[in-house]
Amino acid sequence: MNNLKQYTLKDFAAQIIKENGRPMTTSEIWQYGVERGYDKKGGFVGKTPWVTIGQKLMIDIKENASTRFVVNEQVRPKVFSLKSIATDTVTITKNSIPKITAKFEEKDLHRHLTYFAYTYLERIYTKTIKHQKSGKQNRFKEWIHPDLVGVSFPVDSWDKGLIELSKEMGLLPIKLFSFELKKELTSSNLRECFFQAVSNSSWAHEGYLTAAYLEKDEDFHQELKRLSNSFGIGVIRLDVVNPDDSEVVIPAKPKETLDWETINKLCNVNIDFKGFIEGVKDNAKITKIQKDLYDKLFDADEIRIAP
């Protein structure tokens, strides 16, 4: 008769949280456990075991009066801890998301990106692309369409004669940009968000992954740099309190040519994107920027969020 107690996912999570001595996300728990071979003790299988861990811990917290665990649901993603090491149920790790992120939604960051792109990049005019306008037939539209697109023209900075000459030579240097926007980037969502940006920006001269919060962890930033070097995606950090303190953390690697097949596909499935391309064409033709075709540009004081 086998009297050995089964090593469960809850035991797995408890051991790892105890060893780390701090609250952790389920992705962190799973990654730490795999690196040390603890997953083999329980023979755990499945495509998304970190999701299963979260489900089991939440059920235990809600239904088991003597549960070992506590959860902080005030941050995203949730972090779990042990009652034995947590001071309260809202213990926050040193890398947790600042409370100010609760004061805004992802859509509120569009104005911050529009301000930064125009003021500090290349006088880029942005346009929001609404995913819901792509129709129900596009199940993976979030992996097809960027949140914002952008264009930079030389028409408001170049001499008129030079502009006319460049047009005659077919060399007017218009650049197109793609922006994937997130509230925060952490170890638990980095790869999904990054490859979403890769998927959404294949058509553009430059693609950026943009967020209001980046996890303050050396391993996280090393992985971010590695991914950026491999795929050419730039990273922008938006400062919602002081918009002028926003920064390009990692520059994008510019591409010489556009992916016209993908641009054509996007025009066919999304009316916002089609309108953007038509606007760029018209503005290039008349060498004049029609600002009403793009997202409204607000001043820094208008978009600042109080801490």
Per-residue pLDDT band for 1 (boundaries 50, 70, 90) equals very low
The Cα–Cα gap between 244 and 238 comes to: 9
* 1 within domain boundaries: no
The Cα–Cα gap between 32 and 16 comes to: 7
Note the pLDDT of residue 14.
94
Asked if 125 and 186 sit in the same domain, the reply is yes
* 183 within domain boundaries: yes
Domain span including residue 115: 101-303
Token digits for 184? Answer: 């925060």
How many residues in total does the chain contain?
307
Q: What distance lies between CA 202 and its chain's CA centroid?
A: 16
Domain of residue 76, CATH code:
1.10.10
pLDDT single digits (tens) 36-74: 889 888 888 777 788 889 899 999 998 998 899 998 876
* 219 within domain boundaries: yes
Name the H helices within the chain: 9-20, 26-35, 39-42, 49-63, 109-116, 160-168, 190-200, 218-231, 260-269, 271-286, 300-303
Q: Which of 192, 176, 140, 198 is nearest to 263 (CA)?
A: 176
* 4 within domain boundaries: no
Asked if 85 and 111 sit in the same domain, the reply is no
Note the pLDDT of residue 143.
58
- Is it the case that residue 163 has pLDDT exceeding 70? no
Note the pLDDT of residue 122.
77
Asked if 296 and 222 sit in the same domain, the reply is yes
Asked if 78 and 145 sit in the same domain, the reply is no
Please say whether the beta carbons of 293 and 279 come within 8 A. yes
* 234 within domain boundaries: yes
In percent, how much of the chain has pLDDT > 90? 44
How many structural domains comprise the chain?
2
Token digits for 288? Answer: 């004049």
Asked if 27 and 110 sit in the same domain, the reply is no
Asked if 202 and 81 sit in the same domain, the reply is no
Asked if 116 and 175 sit in the same domain, the reply is yes
Note the pLDDT of residue 2.
45
Q: Report the DSSP pairing between strands 175-185 and 148-152.
A: antiparallel
Region 134-143 average pLDDT: 54
Note the pLDDT of residue 165.
64
Residue where a domain stops, chosen among 95, 115, 139: 95
Residue where a domain stops, chosen among 57, 79, 95: 95
- DSSP symbol at 119: I
Cα–Cα distances in angstroms (integers) from residue 13 to residues 69, 80, 100, 107, 207, in the given order: 9, 9, 29, 34, 37
Asked if 133 and 231 sit in the same domain, the reply is yes
Asked if 109 and 237 sit in the same domain, the reply is yes
* 3 within domain boundaries: no
In percent, how much of the chain has pLDDT > 70? 81
* 26 within domain boundaries: yes
Asked if 88 and 113 sit in the same domain, the reply is no
Residue where a domain stops, chosen among 95, 114, 132: 95
Asked if 114 and 194 sit in the same domain, the reply is yes
Note the pLDDT of residue 91.
41
- Is it the case that residue 295 has pLDDT exceeding 90? yes
Asked if 80 and 191 sit in the same domain, the reply is no
Phi then psi for 125, rounded to 5 degrees? Answer: -95, 130
Q: Model pTM greater than 0.85?
A: no
* 33 within domain boundaries: yes
Q: Which residue has the higher pLDDT, 2 or 261?
A: 261
pLDDT single digits (tens) 201-250: 989 999 999 999 998 888 888 999 999 999 999 999 998 988 888 999 99
The Cα–Cα gap between 132 and 139 comes to: 11
Q: What distance lies between CA 51 and its chain's CA centroid?
A: 20
